[in-house]
Structures are given as structure tokens and as C-alpha cells.
């Protein structure tokens, strides 16, 4: 599906730089637009049902498709077929579920960027925990769900509740809270041969935070510390209002988060890209690393960060990927403002948000059966007050709940 209206004039060795973006879910539109603004040739590889989705077609030279469940060897053959006529310079995964695919293809075609070993540290929750713990970073106690004796010894030493997590998933998909050994062995029996695809982790009570970063040449060029309202796992499984907000960058919480975030990304080996990394602060004040990823955060977090700092992570990700291993990338200086989001599933298909009229509202989210507002202010206290007030009103006016999905949805 060619777009004949644009001919790139950016050249590398006399030809356009060609970026192959992989997206099995509809996202990353601003990444694609920025690649076009930087005068690249832009190719998109997506799942067959999404070929006709609302991609920014004016920014894409060609859209190619594969079955969503295509095995790795079929994907390699598909992309190798494209490479017969396209000199592919960059391969970028726009979603968590495509990170390992992109790494495999980079290894296969020998294009620059994250390889399979490093990619596993940003996709496999067991691999990232082992790597972090071996580097002296605090993580909740965990065990691989492989060996029965090891599992029994771990459960005897670590009191419940526990959390059973898929090793390669995203957000709160597939996570189960386990109350004791009987429930655990039932869950393992239900998982069958796939049980090794999970890990078991001690449930740590505390507040959950995230740091979103831009990394180039192994150095963190931009990072913003943020705090969730309720832990995302609770919102997904128990119902509730999703909130997150930027922390004051000069506060103790932000400084502590940025320090441990730097340790995590260095230990896990991210050299170039963006990252969304989550932490929990236990009741004793200790910071624990929960998980990380080599992609931007979901749930409109990119929009909150832009409202607070003026930095759009999709655009910056495109720029640093284009710069590559030998180029130059300078992150823009962030503004010092504060911003946050309140978001919920709604009973109404198109919720009426007209009663919310505060001047701090900068984005009114438009998504069927969702109500959401992003607010921004130089005053972090004002942002926190508005989010808490809006959350109460959202519960009364819009709130709906649905079971957490067992697998990703479009």
C-alpha cells in the first residue's frame, strides 16, 4: 500500500534513511509523523486486521501486514522479502509486544539497535529481576515457577499474599493475586505446561511510581518521575480511577526515583531508546524495582509528560533512533511544570465533561466509553488537588468497571 505523495530528500550515502516500524496494535502515530518530518522513508509492518486502521498515512510510504500470530521464522522471511527492494536502516518496535520481534529482526538483518539478549531484560519479568537483583538493586522476593522443590522452599520462607505474573506481558494483563499454597497449586495446575511462562513474587504493600526516560549512548538524557494514584494492578483487577502525576523534580521522592532508575537502566543495558520503569516504595521507605520496558508508557502518560515538560517522548524516540549509534542527539530542556491525568472506564459511550471547566484542563480525552482529563499547572499542589477532586466526581458521574483482560486487546 504505497503513498506516492511524498519523496524523502534526507539522504545517507545518497539515499533516504529507511525506518521499519513494527506495531501489532494501533499506536505510535507521532513517532511515524516525526520520522517523516525528519525526511525518512517510513515503512510500517502491522497485523492484518489493522491495515485499514487510522494510521497517519501521509507519513507512511508503505504499509505491510502479517498475521498477528505469525511465528518468528515467518516474520523473518516476510521482512527479508521486504529487504530485497528496501535497504532497511532502522527497525523499531512501537509496542511492548513487538520488542523481541524487532530485536530478532535486527540480529537477522544486522541492523543497529538492541539485540535479543538485552531485549529479554526489557520484556521478560524474570530476566529483568534476576539481572537487577544480581546487581544489588532491591526487588520483591520472587521465584521462577519451574522446579517444584524450589517453589515449595520459597513459599515456606515467604509469607503470602503473592502475585503470579506472566513473564512476557504488559500492564496488569494476566496478573493474579495468590492468597496461599492451595490457591497457588491450583493456579499452576491450570497453567499446565505454560507455568514456566510465569513467576511468583512477594506482594509488597506501598505506593507505586514510574520514571519515563530517554536514553542515548547509554546515558539518560531525560527522565521524569511520576506517582500513580492507586497501583495500576489494583485499578485493573479491583476497579477504580486511574491517576498519575508528575512529582516536583526537586523533591525527595523524585530524587530517589531518578537515582534508582539510573541504576536499573545501566544494569539492564539500555543503550538507545525510551523506557517506562515502575517502582514501589515499601512501608519501610525502601525503593523496590518492579519492572521496566523499552517503550513509552501507556494510558496517555506520554501526553501527561508533554503537558508537564513540553517533551513528547514519541517524537524524541524517533529522533534518537534516526541518530543511530554514530549520530548526535540532544534532548530538549524540560519545562518545570506539573501535570496529571484522571481516567476511567465510563458507563456512557461519549461522557459529557462540560461540567469540568477549570483553566488547568489542557486535554479532554476522546475515547468511547472512557472519561479522561489531563491538567497542568506550575503548582504541583494544584494538580494533585484537581486530580483528587475529579476522581470523586468521576466515580459519581461516569465510573464503570470491567474484568481485567487475560490477553492484550486492540
User: DSSP character for 50?
Assistant: G
> Residue 407 — pLDDT band, cuts 50, 70, 90?
low
* Domain contains 259: yes
Same domain, yes or no: 179 and 36: no
* Domain contains 157: yes
The DSSP-derived string for 77-108 is HHHHHHTTT----EEEE-SGGGHHHHHHHHHH
Same domain, yes or no: 226 and 169: no
The DSSP-derived string for 38-49 is TT-EEEEEEEGG
Give me 251's grid cell. 523533591
Over residues 308-330, the mean pLDDT reads 96
Domain boundary among 202, 228, 249: 202
Give me 227's grid cell. 506517582
Same domain, yes or no: 215 and 341: yes
> Residue 69 — pLDDT band, cuts 50, 70, 90?
confident
Same domain, yes or no: 91 and 23: yes
* Domain contains 223: yes
- Range name among 205-209, 229-233, 335-339, 387-391 with the lowest pLDDT average: 229-233
- Residue 226 to residues 78, 177, 204, 253, 255, Cα–Cα distance (Å): 40, 25, 19, 9, 11
Domain boundary among 111, 131, 159: 111
* pLDDT higher than threshold 60 for residue 366: yes
CATH code (residue 177): 3.30.1490.20
- Residue 130 to residues 126, 177, 307, Cα–Cα distance (Å): 6, 21, 35
Domain boundary among 57, 89, 111: 111
The CA distance from 352 to 90, in Å, is: 43
Residue with the bigger pLDDT between 9 and 39: it is 39
Same domain, yes or no: 380 and 292: yes
* CA angle centred on 166, ends 205 and 247, rounded to 5°: 45
For 157, the domain range is 141-202
* pLDDT higher than threshold 90 for residue 159: yes
3-state class of 177 per DSSP?
A: strand
CATH code (residue 96): 3.40.50.20
Q: Which residues contact 350 (CB under 8 A, 6 or more apart)?
A: 368
Same domain, yes or no: 162 and 62: no
Lay out the sheet containing 18-23: strands in order across.
62-66, 41-47, 18-23, 90-93
* pLDDT higher than threshold 80 for residue 354: yes
> Residue 230 — pLDDT band, cuts 50, 70, 90?
confident
Over residues 283-304, the mean pLDDT reads 94
* pLDDT higher than threshold 50 for residue 9: no
- State residue 408's pLDDT score: 53
- State residue 37's pLDDT score: 96
Nearest one of 164, 114, 163, 141 to 265, comparing CA atoms: 114
Over residues 172-186, the mean pLDDT reads 90
- Residues 230 and 241: beta-carbon distance below 8 Å: yes
Structural domains counted in the chain = 3
Same domain, yes or no: 224 and 189: no
- State residue 232's pLDDT score: 73
* Domain contains 11: no
Same domain, yes or no: 189 and 226: no
The model's pLDDT over 238-254, given as tens digits with 9 standing for 90+, comes to 668 999 999 999 999 99
Same domain, yes or no: 262 and 377: yes
Over residues 22-39, the mean pLDDT reads 96
* pLDDT higher than threshold 70 for residue 236: no
* pLDDT higher than threshold 70 for residue 7: no
- State residue 68's pLDDT score: 87
Over residues 40-45, the mean pLDDT reads 97
> Residue 405 — pLDDT band, cuts 50, 70, 90?
low
Phi first, then psi: give them for residue 318, nearest 5 degrees: -60, -45
Query: CA-CA-CA-CA torsion for 98, 104, 109, 110, nearest 10 degrees?
Result: 110
Give me 93's grid cell. 518496535
- Residues 55 and 32: beta-carbon distance below 8 Å: yes
State the helix-helix crossing angle for 313-323 and 29-37, rounded to 10 degrees.
50
- Range name among 125-134, 196-205, 358-367, 397-406 with the lowest pLDDT average: 397-406
Nearest one of 16, 49, 46, 12 to 29, comparing CA atoms: 46
Same domain, yes or no: 180 and 226: no
Over residues 112-137, the mean pLDDT reads 96
* Domain contains 258: yes
Give me 261's grid cell. 532508575
Same domain, yes or no: 162 and 278: no
% the chain with pLDDT above 90: 84
* Domain contains 134: no
* Domain contains 365: yes
* Domain contains 408: no
Q: Which residues contact 273 (CB under 8 A, 6 or more apart)?
A: 114, 215, 294, 317, 320, 321
Same domain, yes or no: 239 and 176: no
Amino acid at each position: 500500500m504505497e503513498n506516492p505523495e511524498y519523496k524523502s530528500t534526507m539522504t545517507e550515502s545518497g539515499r533516504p534513511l529507511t525506518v521499519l516500524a513494527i506495531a501489532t496494535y494501533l499506536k505510535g502515530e507521532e513517532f511515524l509523523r516525526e520520522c517523516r518530518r525528519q525526511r525518512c522513508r517510513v515503512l510500517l509492518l502491522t497485523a492484518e486486521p489493522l491495515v485499514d486502521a487510522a494510521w497517519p498515512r501521509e507519513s507512511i510510504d508503505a504499509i505491510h501486514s502479517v498475521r498477528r500470530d505469525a511465528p518468528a521464522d515467518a516474520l523473518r522471511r516476510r521482512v527479508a522479502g521486504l529487504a530485497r527492494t528496501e535497504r532497511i536502516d532502522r527497525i523499531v518496535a512501537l509496542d511492548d509486544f513487538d520488542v523481541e520481534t524487532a530485536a530478532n529482526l535486527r540480529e537477522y538483518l544486522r541492523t543497529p539497535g538492541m539485540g535479543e539478549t538485552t531485549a529479554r531484560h526489557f520484556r521478560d519479568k524474570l530476566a529483568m529481576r534476576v539481572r537487577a537483583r544480581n546487581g544489588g538493586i532491591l526487588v520483591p522476593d520472587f521465584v521462577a515457577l519451574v522446579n517444584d522443590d524450589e517453589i515449595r522452599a520459597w513459599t515456606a520462607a515467604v509469607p503470602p499474599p503473592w502475585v503470579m505474573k506472566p513473564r512476557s506481558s504488559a500492564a496488569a494483563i494476566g496478573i493474579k493475586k495468590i492468597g496461599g499454597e492451595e490457591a497457588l497449586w491450583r493456579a499452576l495446575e491450570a497453567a499446565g505446561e505454560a507455568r514456566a511462562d510465569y513467576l511468583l513474587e512477594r506482594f509488597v504493600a506501598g505506593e507505586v511510581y514510574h520514571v519515563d526516560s530517554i536514553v542515548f549512548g547509554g546515558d539518560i538524557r531525560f527522565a521524569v518521575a511520576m506517582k500513580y494514584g492507586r497501583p495500576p494492578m489494583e485499578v485493573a483487577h479491583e476497579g477504580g480511577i486511574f491517576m498519575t502525576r508528575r512529582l516536583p523534580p526537586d523533591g525527595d521522592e523524585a530524587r530517589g526515583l531518578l537515582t534508582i532508575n539510573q541504576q536499573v537502566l545501566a544494569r539492564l543495558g539500555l543503550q538507545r531508546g525510551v523506557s517506562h520503569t515502575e517502582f514501589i516504595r515499601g512501608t519501610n521507605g525502601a525503593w523496590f524495582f518492579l519492572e521496566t520496558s523499552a517503550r513509552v508508557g501507556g494510558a496517555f502518560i506520554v501526553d501527561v509528560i508533554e503537558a508537564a515538560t513540553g517533551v513528547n517522548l514519541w517524537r524524541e524516540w524517533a529522533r534518537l533512533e534516526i541518530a543511530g549509534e554514530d549520530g548526535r542527539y540532544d534532548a530538549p530542556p524540560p519545562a518545570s511544570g506539573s501535570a496529571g491525568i484522571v481516567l476511567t472506564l465510563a458507563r456512557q459511550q461519549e461522557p459529557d465533561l462540560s461540567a469540568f471547566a477549570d483553566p488547568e484542563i489542557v486535554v479532554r480525552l476522546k475515547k468511547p466509553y472512557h472519561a479522561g482529563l489531563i491538567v497542568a499547572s506550575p503548582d504541583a499542589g494544584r494538580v494533585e488537588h484537581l486530580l483528587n477532586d475529579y476522581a470523586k466526581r468521576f466515580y459519581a458521574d461516569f465510573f464503570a468497571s470491567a474484568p481485567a483482560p487475560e490477553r492484550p486487546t486492540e
